[in-house]
A = this chain, B = another copy of it.
């Protein structure tokens, strides 16, 4: 058992995709790597305010196992590790784009319905 309880028999495509994306920080990691191309562990940590080292590494490992990201280790002192998207990771990011757009309009709608107090 390398990571968690996953890659079960899926009942549909969305099920299979959600399995890979669900995790509090995964879509943000995808986004960050898509923007920067390549990121070190410490850079990702600073780019995701609030993430704990434990969750970050756990998510990175699972995403690597799922073939979404590539991990490159440079044997230097101090050590350097760089993460980047694989082709699968890039295509997943593309597949998420319409969902992101839908979410953005939802945010706008919510803001319009419940405007902030003008204190």
Contact = CB atoms under 8 A, between A and B. Distances in A.
Contact of A16 (B20, B22, B31, B104): B104
Contacts of A80: none
Contact of A14 (B12, B13, B96, B110): B96
Contacts of A31: 12, 14
A101 B95 contact: yes
A65 B65 CA distance: 36
A17 B18 CA distance: 12
B96 A97 contact: no
Interface in A61-88: 88
A20 B101 CA distance: 14
Q: Closest 10 interchain pairs by CB?
A: A17-B103, A13-B103, A13-B104, A16-B103, A95-B102, A13-B100, A95-B98, A14-B100, A14-B27, A17-B99
